[in-house]
Structure formats: C-alpha cells, structure tokens
A and B are shown apart, each in its own frame.
Chain A
Amino acid sequence: MPRHAEPTLMNRVRELRQAVPGLTQQALAEQVSVTRQTIIALESGSYAPSLALALRLSQVFACPVEKIFWLEESTS
C-alpha cells in the first residue's frame, strides 16, 4: 500500500515575534512558560509544539492558531 508523506508543520512565530518591538526570544519564552531553547527550536521549525503551547502563543500574539501554524504537504 502506498504511504503518504507526513505534512510538515510550519509556523510564523519568528515573524510575529519580530513584529513586536523588544520581544526577545527570552521574553516570549517567559510569557508562554517554556525555555528559550524551545522558542529557538520552534522558530527553526525543528519542533512541533503541543496544542497548549500553540494556544498560549496565539494568546500572546492575539492571533488565531491557524494564522500562526499551518500544515504544508511534503513535495518528495
């Protein structure tokens, strides 16, 4: 049976964070109760957050979750 490639979770956390003056990775990490390393991993797209973290981020950016995270079909 052919297997479909898993879609990749993409996000615009970095873009949204940089749009807020003075919002560093550390400050954002403190607001959503994670470590700065997790924000780095999120921004680089190497970490898929839990639903709770995604919701906390959407609260901080006052933006719906689907505007921050979306699925992208793999081309390979």
Chain B
Amino acid sequence: MMSAMEKMAWSEVVISGTATLCALALLPWLGPGAAGAFGLLGLLPCGSWFLRRRGTAVITDERDHDNEKRATFLGILTAWQVTFMSLIAMVLWTVSQNRDIPAAWLNWLIWVQFALCYLVKGCAFLLINRRQHRATAC
C-alpha cells in the first residue's frame, strides 16, 4: 500500500504532467495563450489532503522528510539548470538574430520551470522510495 507521501508525490507528477501536456496540446490552437493551461498547477496544494491527520496513525516520519528533502533538491536543481540554459540559448539567439526576446517565450519559460520542478520532485521521491522498498514485507 502506498504511503501518504507517495500519494502526494503521485499527485504532483499527475498535476504537473497534465498541465504540461495540456499546454502543449493547446499550443496549435491558442498559440502563446496555451500557457494558460499551466494554471492547473494551482491544484498542487490539493496533494496535502493526503497528509491530513487520521487518529493516532503515523502519516509521515523522518524517512519521508529525508526523501522529500532530496527530491526537492533535485527538482529545484533541474528547474534552475533548465532556466539558465534556456536563458543562455535565448541570449545567443537574440545576439545572432539581432532581435528582442519575445515576451511569450519568457512566460513559457517561467511556467515550464515550475511544472518541471514539481514533475522531477515527484518522480525523484517515488524513485527514492521504491529503491528503499525492495525488501519483502512480512
């Protein structure tokens, strides 16, 4: 059975993945306006519903917090790298083309790095947890 933190990680993966896919799917019709689909990221706090207290049962513990810290670090690191690499690419493009950076690109960059951060964080948490659960329960 999945722990509360695993359910929360799954919700992060599903919400950020769905938001990205919706934005990409709407791009041919809405153009830059398709970035509005990233508004689905507003559902992310709903994942904390899995962490609600249920009597005296232990919902999260030190291992969950350790794993979450590692996963968050990976998520932020990835988003940070993607943001800066994209900014470098944009600067090179503007210099080589002698044009301004379209505002829509920056808008997309901000949304994508948020979605990517949560997507990587969720996936990393699930992978770290899976690695620790290899033992058979008895």
Contact = CB atoms under 8 A, between A and B. Distances in A.
Contacts of B133: 37, 40-41, 44
Interface residues on B, range: 10 to 19
B58 interface: yes
A40 B135 contact: yes
Given A37-B3, A37-B129, A49 B62 contact: yes
Dominant secondary structure at the A interface: helix
Given A25-B137, A25-B138, A40-B137, A33 B132 contact: no
Contacts of B62: 34, 38, 49-50, 52-53
A43 B137 CA distance: 9
Given A35-B64, A37-B63, A44 B58 contact: no
B61 to A, nearest CB: 4
Contacts of A38: 61-64
A30 B58 contact: yes
Contacts of B61: 33-35, 38
Contacts, number: 52
Contact of B58 (A35, A41, A49, A50): A35
B137 A35 contact: no
A31 to B, nearest CB: 11
A46 B60 contact: no
B132 A44 contact: yes
A68 interface: no
Contacts of A35: 3, 58-61, 63-64
Across chains A and B, which 3 residue pairs bring their CB atoms closest together, nearest first? A44-B135, A41-B132, A34-B61
Interface of A: 24-25, 29-30, 33-38, 40-41, 43-44, 46-47, 49-50, 52-53
16 contacts: A30-B58, A34-B62, A34-B63, A35-B3, A35-B59, A35-B63, A35-B64, A37-B3, A37-B63, A38-B61, A38-B63, A38-B64, A40-B132, A44-B135, A47-B63, A52-B62
